[in-house]
Structure formats: C-alpha cells, structure tokens
Chains A and B, each alone.
Chain A
C-alpha cells in the first residue's frame, strides 16, 4: 500500500526577510493555532515573571520579623495580584497554549475547529490581563491615583462590596477576570470540537493520545466551572455598580453565597490548572522510558473520574465557615475520594518508568521531581480534607505550602517538562541540555527550600496574608530559610530564559523527531508548516510512529 507518488522533499517556505511591521502584522492577525499557542505560552511566561517578582517582594518582606520593606497596604495588593496573576494569567493561558499548540498536531488536523474563535479567545484573555493590571494606574477611580485590588485572589464578599472597597480596583479585578474567563471558555469549546471532529482518519477516541484526552476532560471542566465564576463576578458588579444586594449582608444578602459560587469554580479550577501537567507527563514519561504508557484505559478512566469528582468537593475550602456536620462530612469524604484516581495516575506513571530504559534528559528530570513533589502535595491535600484537621490549619501557612506544592512543585514542573520536550518541535532547534540540567537542579532545590519550611510555619500557627510578625514565636528561622530559597530559584529562572532565547538563535537544528517519539506531531517538520500536514495522516494505533518505525511489531496487532 505504501506507494508514494508525490515528492518526499517538502517545499520549504520561501526565505525572505520580513520587515518588523510585516512580522508584527503576521502575528497579530494570525489564526494559526501554533502561533496562537506560542503567544499564549509567551504571555503566560511574561506574567509568570511579573508574578514571580511580586512573590520575591513578598518573601523579602517576610524574611525577618518586624520588617518594613513594604507597607501593609502594598503587601495586600502584592499577594492579591500575585495569586490572581498566577491562576488566571499564568495557569489558564498555559492550559490554552499547550492545548492550542499540540491538540491539532497530535490528532493529525490542520488547525483548531474554529480558528477565528481561537484568536478571539487569545486576545480577549490578553485584554483581560491588561484590564487587571491597568488598576495600577486607574484603580483609584475618580478619587485619585491608582491602586491594585487588595481583596485576595478569591475576593471574599463583603470585603469587595463598595462600602469596604473604594475606588475601582475591585471592579478591575472582576471585569478583567470575567473577560479573560470568556477567552478560556472559547478555547475550551474549541478544544472539544477539535478533538471530536477533526481527528485524522483512523484516530478513534481509544487511539487518541493521552495528552488530548486529558485536555478534552480539562476543557469539559472549564465549560462547567468557569460560568459560576462569571456569574459571581457579574453579581459582584451588579452590587457595586447598580446597588444590588447579592452579597450585601445588611439587606439580607449572603457573604457565604459568594464563597459557594467562588469555590464551585475555584476547586475545579485547581484541576483545570494541574491537568496540563498530567497531560504532559503522560506523553513525556513513556518516551523517555521507552515503554508505552502503563494502563492507558485506567489513565483515561482516572482523568474522567477526577473531572467528575472535582465538581463535588468545593466546600472543603469552607470548613471554617460553619457548615452543618453533614456538609462537612460529605465534602471531606468526596475530597478524599480524589486521592483514588490521582493515586492511579501516580502509580501508572511510576509503573511506566519501572523496567524502562530511562533517559534522564531535562524533561524526564522534571517529571521525576513532579512525581515526588506532587505526591507530597496530594498527601497534605488529604490531610486538609479532614475537616477537624482543617479547622486547626485553615488559612495558615500549611495551606500556602500545600497549594504551592501542587501548583509550583507540581504544575510548573510539568510545564517545564513540556516546554523542554516540545521546544525542538516548536522552534526547530534543540535547547542546551547542560543549561537545562542546571535549571532543573537549581529550581528543584530552590522551591523545596522555599516551600518545605512553610508547612512547619503552618504548624507553628503562622496565618497566611500577614504582612509581618513579631519575633519570639519561633517563626524567624523557617521564614528566613523560605526566603533563602530564592537564591536558587532566581538564577534557575534566569538560566531558563537564557536557554530558551539563546537556543532559539544558536541551538543545533533539531530535526523532525529528536526524541524518537511515537505521536503524530513528530512526523511533520520542526517547526511544523502552517498547514501542519500536507496530506492528512492515517493511523491504526495509539502510537502511529512506533508502527511506522517497527513494521514487524506494530501496535495495532495488539490493540
């Protein structure tokens, strides 16, 4: 059947120098999923740096007791903007960016299902980010100079009501996140339609790469979980601008209602954020272990199960509110239930590595660290799911340590693995492996030094969001160590940025398939042409490139 009647040599794009304005126009007006994906990822990285600088200031302020580096007001704004940026302007665009870049390539499609909707999603997200940051200039409203929102990233009512939050800062928070949420919904609809409708011939759902599966479930969660946040923000704006009473306790409104709305969004949101890491690990670990993913159907089942359970656990953020004991019991039990499918995933990743021919390149290193660290994060999560334990440690640094372990030592490690793994595909050149390893070790040491001591600070009773503390409570040492972690983290990030930029110019040409991988994106050129595939590929198993490279032993014989 393999008669080839067209030239093997692909027509290269004409090499012509584009002027700056032409290049800019090409990027701004693009509807190409790869360019949009890269723009999502680059803007997420920029916001990551901004939010990282805020985190640095926060840690410097807390390094020693009775510090006066920043004022209490500035500190409130710092942690609000740090959290909001990290969740909505770093995590969410990473989801959309990776899904955009990889889903069409992996299922053998030429673009997303709705390319223009895709471009709309990106630009409205970026607009939302700018709107949020504009508060630094215009947050004071008519009454004067700017001030960023200072209400915390979950913006609990009634603190956000106009009686307590003057000026326009909270409005910028609500509106900026509202419109960037529309962008997330647009991109989620797009991912689902792409994965269902544009699969190349032969790519049944059971052969769809694990990455795409996870991103589809992720998009489902976005579709169901983002609207509650939008609803909450619309209600908040109705309260603030038109004098409605949703969260106005004096008129019978309920502040707890905001908490419910926010966490109905907020807890699925943490799964939305961590899923890209799951997706990346499920691709990277098999390639660098030279073994197919262990228990693929169980992995799909686990990710769907997490998607379902995630919708019914939100009130474990609210144990301290004073719910009924039935409520506490239900949400404690459902939260602990998440441990089962997550345990399946961790087990299967480990089992994939077990007995494999491991190649410890940078992507796999980040995956290995993820396994250890995310397991720790999961265990502290189960501890916090126990309602009485949560009463003790609610709003303490233990919680801060827990979610930074999931999101920094989990998600960010997964993202770095993915960035290193697909860098040669997206850029066409290899990154510098030596610098990659430096980045890995410095970053791993740095974040562990920063976040492990925060568990102990929580046990010692240090509440989150305090701008300083008095000496003699036993918090000095751990706070100082936590801040010292920056000495490793900052050089790690600088090395990463240098590696990415320098390798894009000077790196070795990568070739189509530098990792000897198995999924479709490695069959086209690096970087892929605008149309991805001249002729749509045809697949017969979940590892099409393996079949091609091993005609005597193809996967489809066993599936």
Chain B
C-alpha cells in the first residue's frame, strides 16, 4: 500500500503538469511550475522521514530523520525562488511589450 504522503506529493506534481499543459495564461503557467516544485520538495522530505524520530539536531537523544534530503530540499527551495523571480520578471517584460499575458494572443493564434 502506497503511503498517502507520497500520494499527496505525486498529485501536486501531476496537478502542476496539468496546469502547465492546459492553461494559456503565463502567470497561471508559472504558478503551475511552483506547485510542481512544492510537490517534488515534499516527496524528497517524506522519503527521508523515519517514524518516531526527531529532527537531526543532536541536543536530544533518540533516532533522527535522514538529514540529506532536508539539505537537498534547502538547496531546491532557493533555486525555486530564483527561478520564480526570473520567470515573473520575464512575464512582466512580455506584458510590457505586447500588452497581454495570454499565449494565444502573443503567438497570434486565431481561435
């Protein structure tokens, strides 16, 4: 039986993929990328979890959770923030040039 932590994070990733494919607004696509990012981070953290264990800070005795996924996710969050900032500023630039954020109107596609 698959644990529901994995199910939740996988569904976040899949929701992000659906938004990126189906939506046509640039801001919505960027939000979809962010949701995908969150899902991947949650998945990594839940892989490193150990039952009845505490955070890996060695003041207290007892079993600790795996510290490596947490360190990797710390990196991934910062990279996600910088990707988000760059994507949003590119979207602002596109809006200033074309006056719209809809992909169809930018590409000149007729419905």
Do A and B associate with each other? no
User: B-contacting residues of A (Cβ < 8 Å)?
Assistant: none
User: A-contacting residues of B (Cβ < 8 Å)?
Assistant: none
